[in-house]
Amino acid sequence: MSKATIEKISNLCKRRGFIFQSSELYNGINGFWDYGPNGVAMRRALEQAWWNYMVEARDNVEGQDSTIICHPQVWKASGHVDQFADIMVDNKISKKRFRIDNLLEQQSPEVLQALADSFETEADVAKLEASFETQVEQKTELVKVILNDCKVIDPSTKKPGDWTEPKQFNLMMQTYVGPVFDEDHKAYLRAETCQPIFINFHTIATSMRQKVPFGIAQTGKAFRNEINPRNFTFRSREFSQMEMEFFCHEEEAMDWYNYWRDERLKFYKDVLNFRPEATRTHDHEKLAHYAKAAMDIEFEFPFGWGELEGIHHRGTWDLSQHAEHSKQKLEYFDQARNERYIPTVIETSVGLDRLMLAILCHAYDEDEAETQKEGKETDVRVVLRLPAVVAPVQVAVLPLSKKLSESSEKIHKDLQKNFRSAHDVTQAIGRRYRRQDEIGTPLCVTYDFDSEEDNCVTVRDRDTMTQERISLDELQGYIFNKLNA
C-alpha cells in the first residue's frame, strides 16, 4: 500500500524544487505548472529514456519535432475543432451541467417539438443543436428563455430545470497568426502531437527512405482548455505528450497493435521498474467510430486509477481525413505487395507530465530510520525510490567536514562528466543524507578524514542505507554498475 497522497507529493515537489504552480507570484494560474531544477532534470531524463527506447534503439521508428501551431485546417480535418467545442448549460436547481446535445437526446418528443417551434425548425436533435449553436454564437438572451419556457427536463431529476444561459466551451486553445486579429487569422495550439505526424508522413517516409511498416515519434507540448484541471499535474491545460504513430498494412495491424502494447508494458516494467500491481490495462468497451481496438495503461494514483497511456488502432481514419481535406492522395505504394493503400495506424500516446507524477507517486516512501535526536530512537524518513535513470541527482558527493570540501569537489567534478552529480557541504552529514533521500538520489559518496590517507570513500545506498568502502580508482566503474543494475 502506497504511503503517497497527492498532498504529500505536491508539498515535496514544491519544497524540493520539482514542480510548483505556474505564476505563483500572481496567485497562480489554474492548470499550469512549472518544473524546478530537480523536476526538469528528471523530466528531461524521462523524456530521453522514452526517446531512446522508442526511437534511438530502433531502425523502424523515426523522430520529428513539429511546430505547436499548424495550419488551422489540420484541426478541422482531425475533428478537433468540432469535437472540442460543446455548448454547455447549467441547471441551477440540481447544480448539474449538461452538454446541450446530451440534453436534447434525453428530451421527450413534446419538448423537442416545443423547441422546434421556438426555433422555427424541425424536431430533430441535430437540427436543434445547430439552432442552439447559431443562437449562442449571436449571444442572444433568447436561448435561456426558450429552454425554460419549453420546460426542458433535467435528466438527473426528471423535472424541468432552471436553466442558465448556454455557453460555448472551446477545448482547443486559440491564437492569431499575424498582427491582425480576425477570423481569417485564427489558429489553434495543437491539442495533441500526433496530427503533425500524420501530415508529415509522406515527407518523412521519402526523406528517410522508410518503407511501411515504420513509425514516427514526437514529443512535445499540447494544449487543451480543460474545464476543470484537477489532481495536481494529472490534468493540466498545457502538458507534454510522447507519441508514436506506426504505419502499417491493415492485414498486419492487429499484430502490430499487440506488439506495441507489449513493448510499452515492457517499458514500464524494465525501464521504470514499476511494480506489477501499480499498473493495469483497460480495454476500451466503447470505441471511437474510426478505431478497431483501443486500450489504456492505467496507474493507481493516490486519487484512484488514471490513464497514463493509450494504445490505439486508429485504422486509416487520420490519413483519410487529411487526404480528404487537403485533396492530396495520401496513399502509399507498397512495392513488396505491389499495392497502393492508405496505411493503417497504431498509436502509442503517453502523457509525460502524468508519467512524471506516476513515477513520483510510485517512488514515494516513508520508513523508519534511527536518529540521534534527543528523546527519540527512530524517525520517519521520507525517501523517493526513483529509478536511477530518471533520478535528478544520481550521485551526491558529501565531505564529512567542510574542511574536506576541496578534495570532495574534485571527485564531484570528475563524476559530473558521466553522471548527474551534486556536491553538498552544508550542515550535518545525516541531514544531507536525508535531503538526498527526499529527492531520490540513489548513491551518496562520503569523503572523510581517512580518505586523505587511504584514497577510499564511503558509498551509501539510498534504499538499504548500507555503506561500502570503495577505492577512488574504482569509483566511476562502481557507480556505473550500481546505477545500471
Partner RNA sequence: GCGAGUGUAGCUCAAUGGUAGAGCAUCACCUUGCCAAGGUGAAUGUCGAGGGUUCGAGUCCCUUCACUCGCUCCA
- Footprint (CB under 7 A) of RNA, residues 283-342: 288, 303
Q: Indicate whether 446 belongs to the interface with RNA (CB under 7 A).
A: yes
Q: Indicate whether 347 belongs to the interface with RNA (CB under 7 A).
A: no
Region for residue 178 given its phi and psi (left: phi exceeds 0; alpha: psi -120 to 50; beta: otherwise): left
Contact segment (CB under 7 A) with RNA among 53-61, 110-118, 225-233, 266-274 equals: 225-233
| Three-state SS letters, 99-148 | EHHHHHHCCCHHHHHHHHHHHCCCCCHHHHHHHHHHHHHCCCCHHHHHHH
Q: Smaller CB distance to RNA: residue 70 or 171?
A: 171
Q: Are 400 and 449 a contacting pair, CB within 8 Å?
A: yes
Cell, residue 127: 437540427
Euclidean distance between CA atoms 248 and 255, whole angstroms: 10
Q: Indicate whether 441 belongs to the interface with RNA (CB under 7 A).
A: no
From 435, 443, 475, 479, residue interacting with RNA (rule: CB under 7 A): 435
From 374, 417, 484, 485, residue interacting with RNA (rule: CB under 7 A): 374
Q: Indicate whether 240 belongs to the interface with RNA (CB under 7 A).
A: no
Q: Indicate whether 427 belongs to the interface with RNA (CB under 7 A).
A: yes
Q: Indicate whether 65 belongs to the interface with RNA (CB under 7 A).
A: no
Q: How many helices (H) and strands (E) does the chain have?
A: 16, 25
Region for residue 212 given its phi and psi (left: phi exceeds 0; alpha: psi -120 to 50; beta: otherwise): beta
Q: Indicate whether 92 belongs to the interface with RNA (CB under 7 A).
A: yes
- Residue 141 burial by CB count (10 A; 0-12/13-18/19+): exposed, middle or buried? exposed
Element (H, E) at 408: helix 405-416
From 15, 139, 159, 413, residue interacting with RNA (rule: CB under 7 A): 15
Q: Smaller CB distance to RNA: residue 62 or 154?
A: 154
Q: Indicate whether 148 belongs to the interface with RNA (CB under 7 A).
A: no
Q: Indicate whether 224 belongs to the interface with RNA (CB under 7 A).
A: yes
From 80, 313, 420, 423, residue interacting with RNA (rule: CB under 7 A): 80
Shortest distance, CB of residue 456 to RNA, whole angstroms? 9
CA dihedral angle for residue 457, residue 458, residue 459, residue 462, rounded to 10 degrees:
-150
Crossing angle of helices 109-119/125-137, nearest 10°? 40
Q: Are 88 and 129 a contacting pair, CB within 8 Å?
A: no
Q: Indicate whether 460 belongs to the interface with RNA (CB under 7 A).
A: yes
Contact segment (CB under 7 A) with RNA among 129-137, 222-230, 243-251, 258-266 equals: 222-230
From 369, 385, 414, 470, residue interacting with RNA (rule: CB under 7 A): 369
Shortest distance, CB of residue 105 to RNA, whole angstroms? 11
Q: Indicate whether 231 belongs to the interface with RNA (CB under 7 A).
A: yes
Length of the chain as a residue count: 485
Looking at residues 98 to 117 of the shown chain, list those that interact with RNA (rule: CB under 7 A).
98-99, 102
Is the peptide bond preceding residue 213 cis, with omega within 30 degrees of 0? Answer: yes
Q: Indicate whether 6 belongs to the interface with RNA (CB under 7 A).
A: yes
Q: Smaller CB distance to RNA: residue 224 or 264?
A: 224
Please list, in sequence order, all residues whose beta carbon lies within 8 angstroms of the beta carbon of residue 297, skipping any fewer than 6 positions away: 264, 265, 268, 279, 280, 281, 282, 307, 308, 309, 310, 311, 350
From 51, 71, 90, 258, residue interacting with RNA (rule: CB under 7 A): 90
Q: Indicate whether 420 belongs to the interface with RNA (CB under 7 A).
A: no
Q: Indicate whether 66 belongs to the interface with RNA (CB under 7 A).
A: no
Q: Indicate whether 381 belongs to the interface with RNA (CB under 7 A).
A: yes
Shortest distance, CB of residue 251 to RNA, whole angstroms? 25
Beta-strand relationship, 238-248 and 214-223: antiparallel
Looking at residues 17 to 56 of the shown chain, list those that interact with RNA (rule: CB under 7 A).
21, 27-31
